[in-house]
Structure 1
Amino acid sequence: MTAKDAVEQAYRDHWSRLLALLVTRLRRFDVAEDGLQDAFLAAARTWPHQGVPANPAAWLLTAAHRRALDRIRREDNDRRRLPLLVTDLIAEDVVPPDPDPDAIVDERLRLLFACCHPALSPDARAALMLRFGAGLKTAEIARLFLVPESTMAARLTRAKAKMALAGIPLRRPAAEDLPPRLSVMVKVVYLLFAEGYRATSGPELQRPELAAEAIRLGYLLGELLRGDDEILALLALMILQHARRDARIDGEGRLVLLADQDRTKWHHDEIDRGLELVRGLGPASGDYHLQALIAAEHSTSGVTDWPRIAGLYAELERRTGSPVVRLNRAVAIAEAGAPQEALIVLDNLDEALPTNHLVPTVRAELLSRLGRRAEAVAAFDAALLLVRTDAERAHLERRRADQA
């Protein structure tokens, strides 16, 4: 592995964990984030010449901490308004050992809980949790929320300033504090999983480490609120979808559609766990429950019941009004044998999802099934202008070539 690869790997593996540690110790979002960014820049400059350290996480934590302390010292005029630093800050000249996993879980939980404080708007809470609790980049969060990157950057800046002014504490949540914050925490876990399941940009279609992190956080929420059907349904949904990860990409990195996947590559022990959670739920009363039922249908070894899936999506669309759900309903209707009806369902979705390549992609596939090849080529061209992952781009180019 080259030094450049090591820096990128360290970012994927350690950014969110190190940021959680720095924020909870320094009590400053801006200082912690800037210090960690500076540490990664320093790693990119020095590792190619000095070699990758034996403990990259510890190196980065020490470097970030030193830079953060330097900044705090320069802010003499502001020091009076800052909370006192905790006494267990890492010594400047000592490389710390690997952070204790249990301590990291606790630190990250404190940070996530603080980010979803009721003093912030729901969208601001979710954005903060994804940025500081999960380590997503601002551009990635913007795409998840379907807003421009500049809008999301401004939203994060305002939210951080409000947290500082409000003096929101970083502490492990008490049971009575959880209910008013639960919906936002669950939403963020789901958005984190969505980015891991299907990346919004980059060379890879999926980011399994993010999906696994979302599942871990889902289990953590389940520990805090035992028996909550919404959390259990979300866990079931994530586990069932994540279980197919090794079959969604072939050996050459190409996208493999569900119907063509090698089901022996599915993680059937995880599927069994997900199905067990679904069976333990009560009546389908929540959005995640409906999605879990859909995922369960996709996880069966027999013939997929597409009419039932289309019906579940119809109910989900009735409840949420989500254009993404409508897009999925169109796919289910087509798979159930009605591509012309599915094409009608897509009407006006381009306006609702102007940057989503899946809208013209689905339209292209439907037009292809209907024998309207020239129109299908035009739709594939529209999708290629919007797609952001290399694997999906290659798939679209192959499908377009099939129509030409």
Structure 2
Amino acid sequence: MGHRSESSWVPSVTLLVGIGNADIAALLLGADGRVRGDADMVFAGQPVHPSGAVRHKNGSLVLALHEVEAEVERIVIAGPAITGSLAAMAPDRAVVVAWLIAHPDDANAVVFGEFFRESGGWKFTGIGKGYASGLAELVTAYGVEVAEEEPVAAPMKKAFPGAMEKPVAEAAATPPAAAPANGPVPLTGVVKVPMHAPPTPGGPQATRGGAGAVGEPVAPDPSVFPPAEREYRLLEGWEFGPVFEPFVVTGTGSDVITTDARVPAGPVLVEVAHQGGGYFAVVPLDKRNKDGISLFSTTIPDYRGSTVTPAPEDRPLRLRLEGDNDWVARVKPVAAARRLEGTLLGYGEEALLYMGGAADLRVDFKGSPGGGGCVSLWVHEVTGQVELTHVGRTLALNTSGQILQTVPIPEGPALLLLTAEGPWSLTVRELGF
């Protein structure tokens, strides 16, 4: 997965940008920091920029950074004042921007952040500037002429119209087969796990903290994880563990969360993100309500990571989170983990699925921000359900400091659990025999 904070480089590719339930807009600015005309504002009522490089789609934005006109120096992302997270996803589904947003006091509209040119490439910086008078005041500050009889706020709905969609290149894939409404999930074909569908009565909801209690429902937050529906294929004989709607909780500081009935027993994917610096840890609680083996323990700023842990059969999965700032925790099917194909870039801990043949895996670990840092890789060979036992488990790598090393991995399917205190890249080279 990607790991970005303010003023960080982003790839010059097509990005899908979204902020939870907000219907957002883009302002394309010249060197003077102003739009060249009203056409440089892209929103629901004006969904495509004349250049075609910026498009509004289902409340989100598609930014083809490599196609943006040379005269455009900055792309401002703005919308209604909310608390949430701005996430930008590349075509390979890597999250390259993750920016947590706090609701500014007395603001009705916010500039969340901007993409800007630097040294021939693009960077992103978070802003979070609020405008008390709303969107009309915001867009006027960037040179958009607002007619009094045409309220600017109308196109920017706070109601989320639907799940964010993938860029056109991604959407061109073969449509997935629908899962049956009742009965078992098929072992072949494609299953879609909705990542951020609006909460419905009796349906999946995110909760805000509260020691695992039902709490006050809030609209699911994209946090720093891929905001689109993730498609994944089930292999015959391997169900990747249970399939269910994601369970999402947001909170601040230290807390205990308890999953609800949607999370069945079996191996599950746990994704977390923690804003800012300080210590952050996630520990499962056993049936005596005591700490188990830690899932995450880090001081990396703006941390994000994923791993796999078993959900117990006789009780809900309970997790103790210890942190100083805002965080998001997700419990999802193991099948929602990223696939290890070609070259993947990431930061920190991540669970990956490998489906290819026997291969050499090139590991490029950059080390921790302060130097040193540890990296390890466990490979779990899978037959049938995912099992996190010593059987079929191999410690392929365990070292410290910056490395560039090749390790062998067996034929998939396999679950890879990578732990790294810094940025890394993995490159698969199948043997072909």
Q: Give the structure-2-normalised TM-score.
A: 0.27
More helix by share: 1
Relative contact order, higher structure (CA 8 A, sep 6+): 2
Tell which structure's C-alpha radius of gyration is larger: 1
Task: Give the structure with the higher percent strand.
Answer: 2
* TM-score, length basis structure 1: 0.28
